[in-house]
Each structure stands twice: as C-alpha cells, then as structure tokens.
Structure 1
Amino acid sequence: MTKKDFGDQGEEAAARYLEQHSCRILERQFRTKVGEIDIIAEKGGELIFVEVKTRRPTHFGAPAQAVGRTKQQRIFRTAFLYVQKHGFEEHACRFDVIEILAAGESYTVRHYENAFEFTGF
C-alpha cells in the first residue's frame, strides 16, 4: 500500500466519522495553488475545515502535532478561497484536526475541534 492509499483510507475513515456525528461533507481534497484541505464539512450552518493525519501508533508524538504554523497558514488561505468561491462569507468557520491511528485493520479516531484559530496570514 502506498502512502497516498494509506492517507486516503484515513480520510475515508474521518469522513465516515464526521457523517456519524451529523456533519454533511461538502468537499474532499479541495485543492488550490495555495494548498489543500482534506475535508470541508458543514454542521448547523458552521463550516468545518478538517486536516486529517493518519499514522500508525508511534512514540514520536501525536499526529496532530504535525499541523504546525506553516500548515495552518496554508489551510487558512485555502479556506478563505473556498469561502469566497462558494459565497459562504457569512458562515462561522472552525478548523479541526482528526487523527486516525491505524493498527492493522482497525483504527482509532481522535477529533480535535477548534484545533487552531485564524491568526492572520
């Protein structure tokens, strides 16, 4: 299995998890020249921009720790373009991280709501 296949499986698990928690998936792998957002969902009129990190269990820290300031800024810019493109300027937004910890055929989902906030470009 390639790294991309492994990541895609994680994103699929994250999308299922969000749907089970009353979220409606609007986009997956939304790409621009600026960056990519793994999942864009909506719940109760709020847009949710989700970064998915899929890893095998490790002693090197939580996968969510890999979403540093540079990655956050790319997500903010990409989210801004998405909001403009689709006319969602009046919607509240939040930025979440979902960790998928894969162990064989099973996995654990950790959802960090409001994992980071817009701090400017």
Structure 2
Amino acid sequence: MAPKDELGKQGEDLAAIYLEAKGMTILERNWRCRRGEIDIIAVDGQILVVVEVKTRSSRSHGTALESVNRAKLARLRMLAAKWLSAQSRSFGAVRIDVIALERFAGNFALRHIRGAI
C-alpha cells in the first residue's frame, strides 16, 4: 500500500474509533458506488451520519479541513441519498460530518465538524 493510502486508512481507523467512543454505531466503511465513496456511515441516535475523513501529514496543500469544499459536500449529499434509497430502515435526519486529522511528529490532532453543511 502506498504511504498516502496507508495514512488515509490510519486516519479512517482513528476516526471510526473516535466515533464509536462518542456513542455512534458504524454501519459501513468505504461504501462505494459508481458516483463516489462515503468514508464512514454511522448512526447517532436516530440520525444517519455520513462522515468524510481527511488526513494530512503536512499543510503544503492546505489543512485537512480546507480540502473539504462545497463541491465535496454536495457530492456527499448525493451519495447519502443514493445510500438511503437502497435501505429499508428510515432515519429521523441525515447529517454530514467531517473529521480532519493532521499528523505531525507521529501524533494525530483530530477535529470533528458536526453538520458540515
């Protein structure tokens, strides 16, 4: 696995652990369809949470959080609707969260933005 891919997987693993520690239930990870991918799909009470995880080891291309723009959020909304259309279960609401991780000197700093849209 390429170092960039390994960093991304490590970030997604940490994000999943964090969400579970916050009481969320992970339904799926790395759900894909022909239009894209959702990193983590979780449930927070009655709320479906679609989570975009961004991990960076430097800020040479901006921060992890800055990499999630309006176009990415719009794509996540579309992907959430696609995922929901294939489910028999209903949810009280849908929320899109972003977890931004930055690794410096081997340590990760995590920032969780609830309801990023």
TM-score by length of 2: 0.90
1:42 aligns with 2:43: yes
Q: Deviations over 1:33-91 (max 9, x none)?
A: 11111001101110000000001242654311211122122211111011111134443
Matched, 1:96 2:97: yes
Q: Secondary structure at the match of 1:15?
A: helix
Unaligned runs of 5+ in 2: none
Provide structure 1 residue ranges, at least 5 long, that are not aligned to the other structure: 117-121
Moved over 4 A (4+): none
Deviation of 1:2 after TM superposition, in Å, equals: 2.0
Give the C-alpha shift of residue 101 in structure 1. Answer: 1.0
Q: Structure 2: how far apart are the matches of 1:90 and 1:20?
A: 21
TM-score by length of 1: 0.87
Aligned to 1:85: 86
CA distance in 2, matches of 1:61, 1:105: 19
RMSD: 1.6
Check whether the contact 2:47–2:91 (CA below 8 A) recurs between aligned residues. no
**Cα separation, 1, equivalents of 2:8 and 2:60:** 19
Identity, % of aligned pairs? 38
